[in-house]
Amino acid sequence: MNKFRIFIVDDDEWYSQILEYYLSMNPDYEIVRYATGKECLANLHQKPDLITVDYAMTDINGKELLKKIKQFDADMSVIVISGQKDISTAIELLKSGASDYFVKDDNTKELLWNAVLRIREHQSLKKEVEQLKEELGQKYELSSLIKGNSPAITRIFNLVEKAARTSINVSITGETGTGKEVVARAIHYNSDRKKKPFVAINMAAIPHDLVESELFGHEKGAFTGALSRRAGRFEEANKGTLFLDEIAEMDLNLQSKLLRVLQERELVRVGGNEKVALDVRIIIATHKNLAEEVSKGNFREDLYYRITGLPIQLPPLRDRGNDVILLARFFLEGFCKNNKMPQISMSAAARDKLMTYMWPGNVRELKSAIELAAVMCSNNEIQPEDITFNPISASKQFITEEKSLRAYDIDIITWFLKKYDNNVVQVAKKLDIGKTTIYKMIRDGEITM
């Protein structure tokens, strides 16, 4: 286990020896003393965990030494010890980044002992958080997050990797349930910002009169119910990524305010005057066509060009071929593991049923269907009758694309033929059409069996 390294910087050798002796009672501490600020600065490369600084140094005063230490490493912990009881000096030093400020008296040793324990505990927790973030980043590795090997999803892999290499804004489009937020998280956690916050907000889920405050924050008394200052989502995401889902639902007035924030890279909280600097990557998502929304006058053209950045169009599940089975197995394994169930397999007939469905709810619907099938099946194998499709989704699965009426006729008849094992007579009865119509479509090559 690495020792906790402490630099003691004091030109009073007798006093620094006392501090060294007292702190050395803890065998986990490694103490190094320096008589000048310049010696301390020359050895910062040794990465001490904590530095105690005498405020009245002869070569560099405590304030200047603190500034230089923070310039070297802003996260380095520094305690300033002074012989003066000057409250204004203490406040100034604490604002400049000092972890604590003590006056030299009979209580200094005990105060320092407790402060070191507190700082060490804080650093330990911070390292634990960093480790958890690192593990979270591994969780969001592309290969473990976005499942599939179809050409359609391979293109998405390539775009996500390109997006992660820079801080370019990204716009993700696709049908509901295709995994827009999953892709946004994959971009964030594979980028240089992965140790900073990822903040997601659904614009369609926030009441109209609260959106501005939710995004930009507010000051105390800005409106009825604003009992204290509150940071908005932009501030929460500072240095990280802000994911604005369903961006097309934002009204025009708020769009202009968003544009100004993105242009100026700063915001003013509702009811305030203070400007807050921002460094935020923006990823947006919508199931609508933003270009069409611009032409309709529902979305600002200047904002459209500002936030579009790198466009990523997610493919619907029905266009991903065998990815349906790959994803189904992934969801099935995860569900069994999380519920401490034995592993469950899928029969060939069950796989066929999954492949012939149109999946209007996309990946989200597939996950729901597989988890229900895992509960309903017997003998640890999913059969076709265990798979139940959402009646709302099933009723609209043929109208997820803009097609000709003839194309929809072909889709519907093809689907029913697969469902009823190519029994033309039975399908004709179900659809109330002549069987010769179906035979003709087969003969003309419009339907394959």
Sequence-ordered strand ranges (E) for 25-150: 29-34, 50-54, 77-82, 100-103
Query: Quick one: DSSP state of residue 203?
Result: G
Residue 103, phi then psi, degrees to nearest 5: -100, 135
β-pairing verdict for 345-346 and 381-382:
parallel
Q: Do 191 and 276 have their domain in common?
A: yes
Query: Quick one: DSSP state of residue 209?
Result: G
Which of 67, 98, 133 is the endpoint of a domain? 133
- Among candidates 142, 138, 134, 135, which has minimal Cα distance to 182? 142
Is the Cβ–Cβ distance between 384 and 349 less than 8 Å? Answer: yes
Angle at 388 between CA 387 and CA 390, to 5 degrees: 145
Let me know how many helices (H) and strands (E) the chain has, helices first: 20, 14
Reduced to 3 states (helix: H, G, I; strand: E, B; else coil), residue 335 is helix
Q: Which residues of the chain have a pLDDT value below 50?
A: 394-395
Q: Do 92 and 36 have their domain in common?
A: yes
The H or E element spanning position 371 is helix 362-376
Residue 216 sits in a domain of what CATH number?
A: 3.40.50.300
What does the pLDDT read at residue 208? Answer: 82
Residues 6+ apart with CB under 8 A from 94: 100, 101
Which of 313, 344, 375 is the endpoint of a domain? 313
Q: Do 338 and 407 have their domain in common?
A: no
CB atoms within 10 A of CB 280: 24
What does the pLDDT read at residue 296? Answer: 93
> 17: which 2 tokens?
């020896």
Q: Do 269 and 343 have their domain in common?
A: no
The H or E element spanning position 53 is strand 50-54
Residue 338 sits in a domain of what CATH number?
A: 1.10.8.60
Q: Do 164 and 260 have their domain in common?
A: yes
What does the pLDDT read at residue 144? Answer: 61
Q: Do 27 and 161 have their domain in common?
A: no
What does the pLDDT read at residue 90? Answer: 80
Distance separating alpha carbons of residues 66 and 421, to the nearest angstrom: 79
Q: Do 21 and 66 have their domain in common?
A: yes
Amino acid at 163: A
Longest dimension (CA), the chain: 107
- Among candidates 245, 213, 243, which has minimal Cα distance to 231? 213
Q: Do 274 and 148 have their domain in common?
A: yes
Range of the domain at 173: 140-313
Amino acid at 253: N
- Among candidates 368, 356, 440, 366, which has minimal Cα distance to 406? 440
Residue 66 sits in a domain of what CATH number?
A: 3.40.50.2300
Is the Cβ–Cβ distance between 115 and 77 less than 8 Å? Answer: no
Distance separating alpha carbons of residues 405 and 116, to the nearest angstrom: 75
The H or E element spanning position 69 is helix 62-72
Q: Do 308 and 333 have their domain in common?
A: no
Residue 60, phi then psi, degrees to nearest 5: -135, 125
Q: Do 201 and 237 have their domain in common?
A: yes
Q: Do 320 and 301 have their domain in common?
A: no
The total number of structural domains in the chain stands at 4
Residue 321 exposure: Cα atoms within 13 Å on the Cβ side: 8
What does the pLDDT read at residue 393? Answer: 52
- Among candidates 326, 427, 89, 430, which has minimal Cα distance to 438? 427
Is the Cβ–Cβ distance between 352 and 325 less than 8 Å? Answer: no
Q: Where does 227-361 have alpha helices with state H? A: 233-236, 252-264, 290-295, 301-308, 323-338, 348-356
Report residue 48 CA to chain centroid gap: 32
Residues 6+ apart with CB under 8 A from 30: 3, 4, 5, 6
Which of 313, 342, 369 is the endpoint of a domain? 313
- Prediction pTM value: 0.59
Report residue 72 CA to chain centroid gap: 30
Is the Cβ–Cβ distance between 397 and 360 less than 8 Å? Answer: yes
Distance separating alpha carbons of residues 116 and 102, to the nearest angstrom: 12
Q: Do 350 and 375 have their domain in common?
A: yes
